[in-house]
């Protein structure tokens, strides 16, 4: 078994060899499923998620409890962002099955829905529904952040107008709550082991601004350390936005080269050289 | 169609990412496969002060600070590596010879590889912690190099390669990289990088790859004065020493595999528990397991199978026809194995002839009686889960030293006899026999293999001449694991800067006065033993207009000075308690706090934490409140002074009157406690009087009991109980409390039987009340001490009280059996007990004085604190007692007296006598009675031993005897103790 997170102070290295302010490797693709309106695949380290977006479309018959509503009901003047998350049994080490009504899953659904509703121009599509369907293939920490990022990419791919990217990541702190170490370093992008052992939070910002769209903190941490964690987290979100942006641009470029899309059709604001 | 396939070259990170796959099994037996990412990098510094390139890319923390480099630019050399060298030990080197790395003569500039650290952590957590401490020490210069994260030194496991081989390869690769890397620094003298390993295969491969490598022994020989260090290399690692043994030579049965034991324990076929050795018979052990109400007996060398007192073992119960009674015979290791040869002979048998004889007598005796159903289940050890080995203090058995070793420097094997009688003698190979004979030495046990009768160990250091005060005191502190080193600077830095000039601030606006009540006007005084410097508590009382009385207990406000989680707090939590020896006090907190700033000295203002009750004249509590306060004690009385003042009718001042009022209330409180079933237990307590200048002991006195002692005690109990209720109410899950479990009834079986048979007395153990009443009834009109004797024996049947965290027990389990209190904690001695300090913090939070510090709310942390202080508390008691025993021996030195004694325990070949005047007990064996050893008839039913032949006496349990007491140096333990000879039976 490798060392635990308490070894950080020996050489300022985290359990997987990263420094305090480094993201894990992020790999992302869009338009992974041609048949869908929008789709994406995203890896943050070993956390792997897939996303498919359909809509905006007329809301189908309501299925009990499956979608978490956001941004008003489907009958309202804004489109409803319905998120459903399926966590594969094989995604985590303990291979626990997550039912659809699982409390944690429901909470994730509603958080993702609220985050995306903040950026999507739902008022353009009254009386309709945007379905975001997320599949978790592998879990290694920062799950919520990965879900938000994948959903953002898929929405971009679906061509739904939005203010800007919603980019998310996690931040933590190198010492536990009980150790109460004022000088603890903040950490960027927690993996599973760090999430288990250390305090952490998930933050998402809107585009290039410092506007926080999501802030979730489920662990106990001293207020004094929160500011540093948040600053690192927001900085991580900016890096994440760059990565997402690059993925979108590269895909667009390739599509033009391959002739899938004509230059200038719907992409006039994109720099292609 | 888009595909999910990822092109690797488009990924800038790809080359530098590796993953680690390993398999672990959970507690429930599931196997999990875990995959982890590893990010490889090139900015992990070598940390040599010679290197400039690493300095430029050194990492910084979030505040922009970088860690200073560790390894010296001019490291020491050896005879082979004269240019200087850095050491890179492998895991085994640390596992087997951590003592070597810790000593100060050599072993500087060491590179600890990550792969080694990880392996060490998996193999032994205590050793891992010791190594981490070394890396923190500035002068030892140990640097942890994360080789697995550096691109150049990362090693992937090859197909078919074992984990061990991969790790060895990783070590070699790191050593090679270091050498290359340092060569590039262009330094004048480039230090050699030397791998330390005892693995032959690894050494051979290193040689092939042209990597400098040594075995531990070879390396130590290169050092100046290396001979002395050679002794610290454990025997089994000295490859030349290990002889190939034929299977026929193996003396002990093989242990079961871990999985076989686990399956057995799960299935109820095997049992797991802690192995304890009988203090009177080294061939008899016992183990308590949940499945049996009585302890399982483990008899004989073969069944004990290399278990040592305190080890966590797995046992198998023997068939019923092999069940036996516990031994009634004293069997001492030194008497039986006296002439064994430490150079284990080839034809050695497991059970020696003499041992066989001693055991045979046992069997003969039990055979006649098995029908009577007294037999106890017996068991044999089939495996050891966890060794409880530590460092042991002992001395070399003079008789095991050969003549030639006395002179030369040749390596010789000798026996070390540990001070703790429950530990078997240890075989030790050393080159310094001549210097070590007659010294107190510290040794560790390395191994006990199947082929060796005795465990083998290695020498750590010498404490000094036997029977010198310094050596014996240090020995005692080491034996009981008391932290006695001076407080480090980091701890002293936490003290108030004003030092002894610190005062309670004058201005009431000072933050120190926030939420503090001004109680300086109250007539407060303290009552303590003579010469007490760390005054924890003080009291006051005053009549109230409504006829009730206000009573206050004021406790030193230690938590004001010791903030949670600073260096001082951490040190105190490790020490756990102040240890009182006869001539020395080892403080939990630095002197400045303990004896000055916190101590509630008279005539000065001090911060306090006060518990204030309103009590009716019948000592019923009307209400209670808690507050931080400032007090000014009017007087510091000794118990004796206070008693004189109370008894003197002419003293009519307010202070004396208030003490009288307290005394009256305390008697009522005590009566209430006794009515509720509180036990009045007893242990023989004596005090050693010292010559004031030389501090040599001159006399021993039993402690006197004064009313004023119980006055203080009653109010402290009341304060503790009140605080316990309050903090439990505020923190139902995390309050730190103290409980005393009801003893299992079987604990009293023997004593009850003895009382019934010998005196026709009935011992009822249904409840603490019943026990208290029946103990009261145990009187012998002609012998006033008899009652105390029974209480002493009953005390030994009790469980130990323990600290716990309230969330870990159900409410009924909180009960303190001895005090007959539903709930209890320790609050009144924060200067000398860590539990009290934690309770202070919780109480301060409970009354809203300060916010809750996470450390006093985190249950995991509190449980760890409780676990530690329970051990420390017990060790402190044992150390205190051992210190008294040592000084009683010294006080008696050269004096011989005749004293009254009482028979406490009877064996078939001896009996134990307690002498109340000295509070000591000692074994008198048959062979001590007369020469030649008299014949004896032992009746286990009536607890009678009747001798005939060379001397005829009849000794019965509880009997009063006259004994001749002299001092004697115990050859076994090297302790000066008391020797008793029977003069006559009264
Ligand atoms: Zn370097």
Distance CA B152, CA B135 (A): 23
Same domain, B931 and B948: yes
- Residue B629 is predicted with a pLDDT of 94
Please, which residues bridge with residue B947 across strands? B936
ipTM: 0.86
Q: Is B181 buried (19+), middle (13-18) or exposed (0-12) by CB count in 10 A?
A: middle
Q: What is the DSSP letter of B380?
A: E
- Count how many domains chain B has: 6
Domain contains B181: yes
Q: What is the pLDDT of residue B336?
A: 62
Q: Is residue B889 part of a domain?
A: no
- Whether residue B519 is found in the same domain as residue B632: yes
Indicate the average pLDDT of chain B: 83
As a residue count, chain B comes to: 986
Q: Is B888 within a domain?
A: no
Above 50 in pLDDT, residue A35? yes
- In a shared domain, residues B165 and B274: no
- Cα–Cα distances (Å) from B53 to B46, B57, B186, B785, B793, in that order, read 10, 7, 11, 80, 72
Q: What is the pLDDT, as a whole number, of residue A70? A: 46
Sequential DSSP letters for B906-949: EETTEEEEEETTTTEEEEEEHHHHSSSPPEEEEETTTTEEEEES
Please state the rounded mean pLDDT for residues B526-538. 89
Q: Quickly state the pLDDT bin for B686 (edges 50, 70, 90).
A: low
Rounded alpha-carbon distances, angstroms, from residue B247 to B251, B253, B347, B450, B487: 9, 11, 13, 10, 52
Provide CB contacts within 8 A for B854, sequence distance 6+. Answer: A177, A178, A180, A220, A222
Q: Is A38 touching B (CB cutoff 8 A)?
A: no
- Taking the Cβ of residue A232 and every Cβ of chain B, the question of whether any pair is shorter than 8 Å is answered with yes
The reply to whether B151 touches chain A by the CB within 8 Å rule is: no
Q: Does B135 touch chain A (CB under 8 A)?
A: yes
pLDDT at A273: 44
Whether residue B641 is found in the same domain as residue B715: yes
Q: Confidence class of residue A232 from pLDDT cuts 50, 70 and 90? A: very high
CA distance A216 to A230: 11
| pLDDT tens digits, one per residue of B429-445 | 887 887 888 888 988 88
Instruction: Report whether pLDDT(B474) > 80.
Output: yes
B198 and B255 assigned to the same domain: no
- CATH number, domain with residue B292: 2.40.50.690
Which of residues B405 and B969 earns the better pLDDT score?
Answer: B969
Q: What is the pLDDT of residue B347?
A: 45
Last residue of a domain, one of B416, B431, B466: B466
pLDDT tens-place string over residues B740-751: 988 888 888 888
Q: Final residue of a domain: which of B177, B208, B230?
A: B230
Does the residue B973 lie in any domain?
Answer: yes
- Chain B neighbors of A32, CB-CB under 8 A: 2, 4
Q: Name every chain B residue with its beta carbon within 8 A of the beta carbon of A142.
A: none
Statement to judge: residues B342 and B364 lie in one domain: yes
> Is it the case that residue A196 has pLDDT exceeding 90?
no
A69 confidence band (pLDDT: 50, 70, 90): very low
pLDDT tens digits, one per residue of B848-897: 888 887 777 788 888 889 999 999 999 998 888 888 878 877 777 777 78
Question: Do residue B544 and residue B671 come from a single domain?
Answer: yes
- Condensed to tens digits (0 to 9), the pLDDT of residues B700-746 reads 666 667 888 889 999 999 999 999 999 999 999 999 999 998 888 88
- Whether the pLDDT of residue B417 is over 80: the answer is yes
Query: Is it the case that residue B407 has pLDDT exceeding 80?
Result: no
What are the structure tokens assigned to B344, written together?
A: 């284990």
Among B6, B61, B861, the residue with its CB nearest the CB of A12 is: B61
Contacts of B33 in chain A (CB under 8 A): 93
Q: How far apart are CA B359 and CA B300, in angstroms?
A: 8
The pLDDT > 70 percentage for chain B reads 86
In a domain, B812, yes or no: no
Q: Tell me whether residue B887 is in a domain.
A: no
Structure confidence by residue, pLDDT tens digits, B909-962 = 888 888 887 778 888 888 788 777 888 888 888 888 888 888 888 888 888 899
As to burial, measured by CB atoms within 10 angstroms (0-12 exposed, 13-18 middle, 19+ buried), residue B34 is: middle
Q: What is the mean pLDDT of chain A?
A: 84
- Are B244 and B271 in the same domain? yes
Range B285-291 contact pairs with CB under 8 angstroms and sequence separation of 24 or more: B285/B309, B286/B326, B287/B313, B287/B315, B287/B379, B289/B315
B644 lies in some domain: yes
- Find the distance separating the first CA and the last CA of chain B, reported in whole Å: 107
Domains belonging to chain A, first-starting first, are 24-257 (3.30.230.70)
User: Which of B283-287, B337-341, B558-562, B850-854 shows the highest mean pLDDT?
Assistant: B558-562
pLDDT at B343 over 80: no
Residue B769: which H helix or E strand, with range?
helix B768-777
Confidence of residue A71 (pLDDT cuts 50, 70, 90): very low
B160 touches chain A (CB under 8 A): no
- List the one residue out of B440, B553, B566, B435 whose CA is nearest residue B492: B566
d(CA B762, CA B307): 39
Q: Within a 10 A sphere around the Cβ of B862, how many other Cβ atoms?
A: 26
User: Whole-angstrom Cα distance, residue B133 to residue B666?
Assistant: 49
Q: Kindly state the tokens that stand for B923.
A: 């074994």
Same domain, residue pair B218 and B269: no
What is the Rg, in whole angstroms, of the alpha carbon atoms belonging to chain B?
A: 32
Domain that holds residue B206: 52-230
With a cut of 70, say whether residue B451 has pLDDT above it. Answer: yes
Write the CATH number for B971: 2.40.50.140
Residue B825 burial (CB count, 10 A): 31
Query: Is the same domain home to B731 and B749?
Result: no
Q: Do B931 and B903 share a structural domain?
A: yes
Query: Which of B831, B860, B882 marks a domain boundary?
Result: B882
**Segment B442-451 mean pLDDT:** 85
Mean pLDDT of B527-534: 86
State the pLDDT at residue B181.
Answer: 92
Q: How far, in Å, are A41, A51, A53 from residue A32 at the CA level?
A: 7, 9, 11
What is the 3-state secondary structure of B165-210?
Answer: HHHHHHHHHHHHHHHHHHHCCCCCCCCEEEEECCCHHHHHHHHHCC
Q: Is the confidence at residue B554, as pLDDT, over 80?
A: yes
| Least confident stretch, A16-30, A95-109, B262-276, B381-395 | A95-109
Residue among B13, B37, B144 whose CB faces A16 most closely: B37
Which string of DSSP letters, residue by residue, matches B694-740?
Answer: T--EEEEEEPP--HHHHHHHHHHHHHHHHHHHHHHHH-TTT-EEEEB
CB B915 within 8 A of CB B899: yes
Q: Are A132 and A116 in contact (CB under 8 A)?
A: yes
User: pLDDT band at residue A147, thresholds of 50, 70 and 90?
Assistant: very high
- Whether residues B221 and B250 fall in one domain: no
Beta bridge partners of A82: A131
First to last CA, chain A: 49
DSSP labels, A66-78: TSBP-SS-TTSSS
Question: How sure is the predictor about B246, in pLDDT bands with cuts at 50, 70 and 90?
Answer: very low
CA B347 to CA A228: how far, in whole Å?
71
Kindly list the protein residues that place their beta carbon closer than 5 angstroms to ligand 1, a single-atom ion: B 46, 51, 54
From B499's Cα to the closest Cα of chain A, the distance in A is 26
Domain assignment present for B808: no
Out of B39, B117, B858, whose CB is closest to A17? B39
**Its pTM surpasses 0.80:** no
The size of chain A, in residues, is 273
């Amino acid at each position: 078994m490798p060392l635990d997170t308490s070894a950080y102070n020996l050489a300022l290295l985290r359990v997987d060899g990263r420094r305090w302010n480094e993201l894990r490797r992020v790999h992302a693709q869009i338009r992974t499923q041609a048949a869908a309106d929008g789709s994406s695949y995203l890896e943050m380290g070993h956390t792997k998620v897939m996303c498919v977006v359909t809509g905006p479309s007329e809301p189908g018959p309501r299925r009990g409890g499956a979608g978490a509503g956001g941004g008003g009901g489907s009958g309202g003047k804004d489109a409803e962002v319905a998120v459903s998350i399926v966590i594969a049994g094989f995604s985590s080490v303990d291979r626990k099955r997550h039912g659809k009504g699982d409390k944690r899953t429901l909470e994730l659904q509603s958080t993702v829905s609220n985050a995306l509703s903040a950026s999507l121009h739902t008022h353009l599509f009254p009386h309709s529904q945007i379905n975001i369907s997320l599949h978790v293939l592998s879990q290694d920490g920062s799950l919520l952040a990965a879900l938000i990022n994948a959903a953002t990419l898929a929405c971009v791919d679906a061509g739904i107008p939005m203010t800007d990217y919603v980019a998310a990541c996690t931040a933590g702190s190198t010492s536990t709550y009980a150790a109460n170490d004022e000088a603890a370093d903040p950490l960027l992008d927690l993996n599973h082991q760090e999430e288990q052992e250390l305090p952490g939070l998930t933050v998402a910002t809107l585009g290039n601004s410092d506007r926080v769209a999501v802030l979730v903190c489920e662990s106990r941490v001293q207020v004094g350390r929160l500011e540093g964690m948040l600053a690192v987290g927001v900085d991580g979100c900016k890096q994440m936005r760059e990565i997402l942006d690059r993925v979108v641009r590269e895909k667009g470029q390739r599509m033009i080269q391959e002739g899938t899309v004509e230059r200038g059709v719907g992409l006039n604001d994109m720099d292609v050289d | 169609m888009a595909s999910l396939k990822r092109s690797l070259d488009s990924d800038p990170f790809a080359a530098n990412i590796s993953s680690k796959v390993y398999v672990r099994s959970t507690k429930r037996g599931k196997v999990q496969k875990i995959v982890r990412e590893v990010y490889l990098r090139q900015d992990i510094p070598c940390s040599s002060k010679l290197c400039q390139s690493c300095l430029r890319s050194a990492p910084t923390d979030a505040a922009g600070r970088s860690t200073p480099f560790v390894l010296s630019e001019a490291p020491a050399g050896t005879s082979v590596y004269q240019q200087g060298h850095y050491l890179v030990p492998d895991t085994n080197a640390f596992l087997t010879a951590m003592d070597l790395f810790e000593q100060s003569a050599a072993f500087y500039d060491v590179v600890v590889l990550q792969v080694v650290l990880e392996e060490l952590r998996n193999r032994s957590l205590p050793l891992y912690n010791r190594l981490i401490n070394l890396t923190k020490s500035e002068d030892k210069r140990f640097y942890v190099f994360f080789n697995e994260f550096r691109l150049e030194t990362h090693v992937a496991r090859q197909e078919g390669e074992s984990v061990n081989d991969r790790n060895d390869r990783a070590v070699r690769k790191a050593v090679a990289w270091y050498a290359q890397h340092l060569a590039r620094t262009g330094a004048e003298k480039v230090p050699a990088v030397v791998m330390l390993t005892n693995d032959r295969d690894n050494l051979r491969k290193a040689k092939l790859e042209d990597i400098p490598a040594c075995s531990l022994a070879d390396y130590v020989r290169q050092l100046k004065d290396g001979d002395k260090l050679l002794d610290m290399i454990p025997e089994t690692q000295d490859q030349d020493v290990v002889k190939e043994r034929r299977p026929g030579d193996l003396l002990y049965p093989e242990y079961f595999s871990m999985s076989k034991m686990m399956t057995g324990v799960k299935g109820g076929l095997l049992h797991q528990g802690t192995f304890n050795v009988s203090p009177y018979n080294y061939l008899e052990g016992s183990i308590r397991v949940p499945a049996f109400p009585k302890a399982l007996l483990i008899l004989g060398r073969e069944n004990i199978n290399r278990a040592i007192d305190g080890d966590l073992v797995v046992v198998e119960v023997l068939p019923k026809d092999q069940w036996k009674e516990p031994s009634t015979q004293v069997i001492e290791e030194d008497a039986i194995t006296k002439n064994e040869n430490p150079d284990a002979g080839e034809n050695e048998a497991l059970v020696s002839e003499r041992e066989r004889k001693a055991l045979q007598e046992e069997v003969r005796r039990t055979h006649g009686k098995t029908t009577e159903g007294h037999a106890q289940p017996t068991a044999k050890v089939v495996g050891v889960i966890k060794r409880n080995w530590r460092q042991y203090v002992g001395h070399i058995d003079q008789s095991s030293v050969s003549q030639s070793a006395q002179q030369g420097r040749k390596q010789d094997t000798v026996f070390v006899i540990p001070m703790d009688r429950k530990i078997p003698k240890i075989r030790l190979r050393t080159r310094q026999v001549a210097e070590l004979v007659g010294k107190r030495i510290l040794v560790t046990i390395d191994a006990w293999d199947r082929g060796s009768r005795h465990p083998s160990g290695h020498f750590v250091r010498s404490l000094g001449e036997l029977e010198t005060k310094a050596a014996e005191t240090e020995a005692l502190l080491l034996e009981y694991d008391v932290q006695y080193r001076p407080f480090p600077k980091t701890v002293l830095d936490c003290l108030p800067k004003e030092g002894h000039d610190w005062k309670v601030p004058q201005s009431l606006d000072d933050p120190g006065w926030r939420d503090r009540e001004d109680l300086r006007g109250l007539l407060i005084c303290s009552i303590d033993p003579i010469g007490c410097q760390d005054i924890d508590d003080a009291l006051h009382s005053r009549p109230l207009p409504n006829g009730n009385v206000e009573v206050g207990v004021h406790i030193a406000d230690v938590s004001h000075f010791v903030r949670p989680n600073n260096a001082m707090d951490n040190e105190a939590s490790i020490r756990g308690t102040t240890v009182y020896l006869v001539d020395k006090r080892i403080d939990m907190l630095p002197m400045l706090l303990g004896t000055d700033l916190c101590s509630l000295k008279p005539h000065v203002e001090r911060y306090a934490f006060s518990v204030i009750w309103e009590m009716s004249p019948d000592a019923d509590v009307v209400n209670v409140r808690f507050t931080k306060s400032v007090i000014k004690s009017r007087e510091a009385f000794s118990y004796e002074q206070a008693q004189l003042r109370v008894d003197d009718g002419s003293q009519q001042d307010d202070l004396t009157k208030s003490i009288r009022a307290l005394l009256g209330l305390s008697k009522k409180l005590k009566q209430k406690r006794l009515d509720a079933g509180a036990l009045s237990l007893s242990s023989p307590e004596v005090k050693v009087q010292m010559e004031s200048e030389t501090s040599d002991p001159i006399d021993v006195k039993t402690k006197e009991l004064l009313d004023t002692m119980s006055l203080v005690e009653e109010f402290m109990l009341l304060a503790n109980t009140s605080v316990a209720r309050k903090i439990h109410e505020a923190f139902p899950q995390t309050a730190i409390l103290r409980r005393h479990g009801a003893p299992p009834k079987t604990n009293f079986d023997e004593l009850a039987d003895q009382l019934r048979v010998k005196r026709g007395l009935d011992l009822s153990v249904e409840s603490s009340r019943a026990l208290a009443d029946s103990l009261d009834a145990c009187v012998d009109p002609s012998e006033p001490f008899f009652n105390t004797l029974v209480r002493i024996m009953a005390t030994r049947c009790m469980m130990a009280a323990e600290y716990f965290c309230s969330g870990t027990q159900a409410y009924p389990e909180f009960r303190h059996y001895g005090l007959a209190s539903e709930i209890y904690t320790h609050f009144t001695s924060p200067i000398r007990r860590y539990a009290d300090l934690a309770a202070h913090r919780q109480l301060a939070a409970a009354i809203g004085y300060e916010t809750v510090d996470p450390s006093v709310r985190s249950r995991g942390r509190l449980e760890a604190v409780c676990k530690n202080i329970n051990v420390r508390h017990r060790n402190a008691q044992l150390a205190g007692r051992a210190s008294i025993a040592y000084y009683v021996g010294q006080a008696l030195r050269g004096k011989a007296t005749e004293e009254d004694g009482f028979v406490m325990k009877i064996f078939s070949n001896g009996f134990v006598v307690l002498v109340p005047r000295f509070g000591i007990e000692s074994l008198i064996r048959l062979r001590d009675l007369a020469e030649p050893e008299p014949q004896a008839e032992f009746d286990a039913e009536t607890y009678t031993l009747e001798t005939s032949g060379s001397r005829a006496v009849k000794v019965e349990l509880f009997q009063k005897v006259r004994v001749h007491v002299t001092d004697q140096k115990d050859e076994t333990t090297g302790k000066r103790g008391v020797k008793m000879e029977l003069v006559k039976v009264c």
